[in-house]
């Protein structure tokens, strides 16, 4: 854990597990899971920038730790997929602010990551400076409109 | 403190201020513009970074209340279903606008005569037409001649590309036999007057890093400054002052360091938009004008008009390449523009198609609508949505109502301690009926175009882009704030040139008309200069 990190290494590991539940790897292996993509660092930055997110995530991870512990030894990642979903469903009741706040930031950061864009068939770059080609289109589609009388009143 | 008295002092460097400054530059008068914002750096615009979509929720957000920029002033819009969207910089809200650039229809200036509601303007389309043409050349308007919804008009540049999305929706309109046409867009579709051509970046509404979109920092201002106009940024005007003779004699403002300054002027021109202008006038109280400057009619701040917006979105089976191309400019339809009382409302609306959503916006739409769940099934649901959405915003004509108004908030102030504006606004029954109609017709055309599902949001809450009517134009000093050429009835050397002076709102984006009016008023100032103060 670095000096300025908000989360301990255990919490980071749990968070990565939660992120992989929110966006899991695709079954065909084309798209990575959000935890696997390393979005924990982005979430920690978002916690720094978003006042409401910080306590929601911190309290959510603490509650998650307790729920996992109550199931026996091991951490969140060591649970079966079904157990992990069960924990998150319980957490949704116990800490209602946790998942909604987290999901917004996970979705936002996941879909701006170059590796994800590439896997979706997009170029892994911002729009500028290369831009995009776009067809002018078939302006003859306007022929029936051109034939109409004037629509405006004087 | 400056001892210099300028000939013309313009407050606000947005759409209107820029056009008037450029026009007056040829007179060789000493023209100064004070702007509370600063020059923007296009290299820092969101489209240059991977986080381009998220910055529309941050430093390039629509609302000054959440954007967090020091040059913004807060606006209390808690008593309005529509929140104000603006931007404070050289270029004003043209930095963020979509650059959809329609003109008013001729009948929009005669609403009372044609439909028996609101009021006629004291000017008409024919009078503004040469200024629309001039503005088209100065801003570089792209479009296609021959639109039957308009009189013939000058369009210097070829239209923005239709792309797959535009063609798809165009076929839908054709299937129903409805009007549609490529949008008039203030976007350089070819290299134009030193501006690079549009390369279909997409997010025009967070600033154009290419410089193809006609924000006035890249159109009017460079030319105005070359011709001798002085533009001073980071200067927030607190009040316009008047002399014992009842004429405006200058302003008090805060400079970039927060120090109070005085600027004297022979003539003052206000160009602060439909909320900023009444705020400034109401803050400019004196013994001669205890209810606010130029407010003997009591109409400063009243008759606020937004355009109530709806958004109708369709989900399609095929890919639409919707993340490419100017986000707000593609095609438009004015099938329901003119009054037909059988529809259940007076006046009408314009459909403006939007391009599709980027990767992040798609995910967030999927999240908020429940279409893209987290966990199992996420990827399948996302890929069924991404690049398969196309939508339209619908601009409904708002009618002036005195109870819709801008006042000064009793508590809220900006960073200089200047009282902030408060919005009091409610939708009329006519607007509710129009919104209901346009959502139904919008869904119908999207389905005709092949949408497998449609959904709508109306009224669109953050859609207070168009701010009009709060210092209306007219010939009767008891029923208007400015005369037919923008001069305040109560103060002969004070002019207002922004959307505040609109008598009615039409059902189109107002920037083109705001600028045509500013150019017209500039000409009237010059023509009347010899007896302006008599």
CB spacing of B200 vs A133 below 8 angstroms: yes
Instruction: Please count the other Cβ atoms lying within 10 Å of the Cβ belonging to residue B261.
Output: 17
Q: What is the pLDDT of residue B3?
A: 73
Containing structural domain, residue B443: 156-185+309-397+428-458
pLDDT in tens, B373-392: 999 999 999 999 999 999 99
Does residue B514 sit in the same domain as residue B442?
no
Cβ contacts from A onto B, under 8 A? 159
- Check pLDDT > 80 for residue A5: no
Average pLDDT over residues B256-276: 98
Residue in chain B lying closest to A113 (CA): B50
A8 Cα to chain B: minimum distance (Å):
25
What ipTM describes this predicted complex? Answer: 0.94
B32 Cα to chain A: minimum distance (Å):
35
CB spacing of B200 vs A24 below 8 angstroms: no
Q: What is the pLDDT of residue B2?
A: 60
Domain spans in chain A, listed from the N-terminal domain onward: 9-124
- Comparing CB atoms, the residue among B50, B107, B324 nearest residue A153 is B107
Does residue B131 sit in the same domain as residue B224?
yes
Q: Report yes or no on B85 lying in a domain.
A: yes
Question: What Rg, from alpha-carbon coordinates, does chain B have?
Answer: 22
Q: Report yes or no on B477 lying in a domain.
A: yes
- The pLDDT-based confidence of B447 (bands split at 50, 70, 90) is very high
Which of A6-10, B221-225, B454-458, B522-526 is predicted with the least confidence, judged by mean pLDDT?
A: A6-10
Does residue B129 sit in the same domain as residue B4?
yes
Which residues on B lie below 8 Å from A125 (Cβ)? 50
Q: Number of structural domains, chain B?
A: 2
Does residue B106 sit in the same domain as residue B237?
yes
Q: How far is CA A61 from CA A73, B66, B97, B378, in A?
A: 17, 29, 42, 23
CB spacing of B378 vs A114 below 8 angstroms: no
- Check pLDDT > 80 for residue B515: yes
Does residue B258 sit in the same domain as residue B390?
no
pLDDT in tens, B298-320: 999 999 999 999 999 999 999 99
Q: Report yes or no on B533 lying in a domain.
A: no
CB spacing of A151 vs B334 below 8 angstroms: yes
- The pLDDT-based confidence of B533 (bands split at 50, 70, 90) is confident
- Comparing CB atoms, the residue among A113, A126, A150 nearest residue B148 is A150
Q: What is the mean pLDDT of chain B?
A: 97
Does residue B84 sit in the same domain as residue B64?
yes
Angle B411-B415-B416 from CA coordinates, rounded to 5°: 90
B338 Cα to chain A: minimum distance (Å):
7
Does residue B313 sit in the same domain as residue B342?
yes
CB spacing of B177 vs A116 below 8 angstroms: no
Does residue B176 sit in the same domain as residue B278?
no
Average pLDDT over residues B508-530: 97
Distance CA B102, CA B153 (A): 11
pLDDT in tens, B330-340: 999 999 999 99
Which residues on B lie below 8 Å from A106 (Cβ)? 374
CATH of the domain at B448: 3.30.410
Residue in chain B lying closest to A17 (CA): B375
Average pLDDT over residues B360-385: 96
CB spacing of A135 vs B162 below 8 angstroms: yes
Q: What is the pLDDT of residue B342?
A: 98
Site from A19, A107, A147, A150 to mutate, B interface, most B CB atoms within 10 angstroms: A107
Both tokens assigned to A97 = 């602010």
pLDDT more than 90, % of chain B: 97
Does residue B275 sit in the same domain as residue B287?
yes
Instruction: Please count the other Cβ atoms lying within 10 Å of the Cβ belonging to residue A84.
Output: 20
Site from B49, B127, B198, B199 to mutate, A interface, most A CB atoms within 10 angstroms: B199
Does residue B411 sit in the same domain as residue B484?
yes
On the question of a cis peptide bond just before residue A129, with omega within 30 degrees of 0, the verdict is yes
Average pLDDT over residues A105-113: 97
Does residue B2 sit in the same domain as residue B87?
yes
Both tokens assigned to B104 = 């008013």
pLDDT more than 70, % of chain A: 97
Distance CA B340, CA B332 (A): 19
- Comparing CB atoms, the residue among B158, B163, B170 nearest residue A134 is B163
Does residue B276 sit in the same domain as residue B318?
no
pLDDT in tens, B132-190: 999 999 999 999 999 999 999 989 999 999 999 999 999 999 999 999 999 999 999 99
CATH of the domain at B283: 3.50.50.60
């Amino acid at each position: 854990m670095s000096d300025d990190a908000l989360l301990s290494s255990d919490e980071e590991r749990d968070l990565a597990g939660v992120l992989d539940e929110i966006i899991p790897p695709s079954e065909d292996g084309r798209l990575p899971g959000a935890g696997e993509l390393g979005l924990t660092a982005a979430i920690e930055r978002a916690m720094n920038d978003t006042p409401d997110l910080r306590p929601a995530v911190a309290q959510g991870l603490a509650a998650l730790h307790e729920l996992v512990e109550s199931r026996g030894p091991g951490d969140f990642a060591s649970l079966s997929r079904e157990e992990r979903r069960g924990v998150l469903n319980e957490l949704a009741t116990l800490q209602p602010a946790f998942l909604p706040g987290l999901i917004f930031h996970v979705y936002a950061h996941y879909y701006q990551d170059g590796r994800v864009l590439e896997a979706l068939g997009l170029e892994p770059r911002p729009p500028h400076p290369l831009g995009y080609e776009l067809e002018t289109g078939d302006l003859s589609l306007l022929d029936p409109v051109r034939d109409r009388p004037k629509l405006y009143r004087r | 403190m400056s001892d210099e008295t300028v000939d013309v002092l313009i407050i606000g460097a947005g759409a209107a201020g820029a056009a008037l400054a450029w026009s007056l530059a040829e007179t060789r008068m000493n023209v100064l513009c004070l702007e509370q914002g600063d020059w923007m750096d296009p290299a820092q615009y969101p489209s240059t970074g991977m986080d381009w979509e998220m910055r529309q929720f941050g430093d390039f957000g629509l609302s000054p209340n959440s954007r967090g920029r020091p040059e913004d002033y807060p606006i209390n819009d808690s008593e309005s279903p529509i929140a104000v969207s603006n931007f404070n910089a050289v270029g004003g809200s043209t930095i963020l606008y979509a650059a959809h650039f329609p003109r008013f229809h001729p009948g929009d200036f005669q609403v009372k005569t044609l439909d028996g509601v609101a009021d006629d303007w004291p000017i008409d389309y024919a009078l503004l037409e040469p200024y629309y043409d001039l503005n088209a050349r100065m801003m570089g308007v792209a479009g296609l001649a021959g639109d039957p919804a308009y009189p013939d008009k000058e369009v210097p540049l070829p239209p923005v590309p239709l792309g797959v999305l535009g063609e798809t929706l165009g076929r839908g309109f054709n299937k129903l036999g409805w009007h549609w046409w490529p949008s008039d867009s203030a976007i350089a579709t070819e290299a134009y007057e030193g501006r690079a051509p549009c390369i279909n970046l997409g997010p025009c509404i967070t600033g154009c890093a290419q410089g193809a979109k006609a924000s006035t920092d890249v159109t009017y201002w460079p030319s105005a400054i070359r011709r001798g106009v002085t533009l001073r940024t980071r200067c927030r005007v607190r009040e316009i002052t008047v002399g014992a003779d009842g004429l405006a004699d200058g302003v008090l403002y805060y400079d970039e360091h927060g120090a109070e300054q005085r600027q004297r002027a022979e003539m003052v021109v206000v160009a602060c938009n439909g909320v900023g202008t009444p705020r400034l006038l109401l803050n400019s109280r004196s013994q001669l004008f205890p209810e606010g400057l130029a407010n003997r009619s009591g109409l400063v701040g009243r008759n606020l008009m937004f355009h109530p917006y709806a958004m109708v979105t369709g989900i399609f089976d095929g890919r639409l390449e919707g993340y490419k191309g100017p986000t707000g400019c593609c095609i438009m339809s004015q099938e329901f523009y003119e009054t037909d009382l059988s529809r259940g409302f007076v006046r009408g609306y314009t459909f403006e198609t939007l391009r599709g959503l980027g990767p992040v916006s798609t995910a967030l739409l999927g999240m908020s609508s429940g279409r893209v769940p987290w966990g199992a099934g996420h990827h399948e649901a996302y890929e069924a949505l991404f690049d398969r959405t196309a939508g339209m915003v619908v601009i409904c004509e708002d009618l002036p109502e005195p109870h819709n108004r801008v006042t000064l908030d009793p508590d809220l102030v900006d960073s200089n301690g200047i009282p902030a504006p408060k919005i009091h606004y409610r939708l009329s029954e006519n607007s509710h009926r129009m919104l209901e109609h346009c959502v139904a017709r919008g869904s119908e055309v999207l389905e005709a175009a092949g949408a497998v599902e449609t959904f709508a949001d109306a009224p669109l809450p953050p859609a207070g882009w168009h701010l009009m009517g709060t210092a209306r134009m007219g010939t009767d000093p008891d029923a208007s704030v400015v005369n037919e050429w923008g001069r305040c009835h109560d103060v002969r050397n004070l002019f207002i040139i922004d959307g505040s002076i609109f008598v009615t709102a039409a059902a189109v984006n107002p920037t083109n008309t705001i600028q045509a009016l500013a150019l017209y008023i500039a000409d009237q100032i010059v023509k009347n200069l010899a007896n302006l103060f008599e």
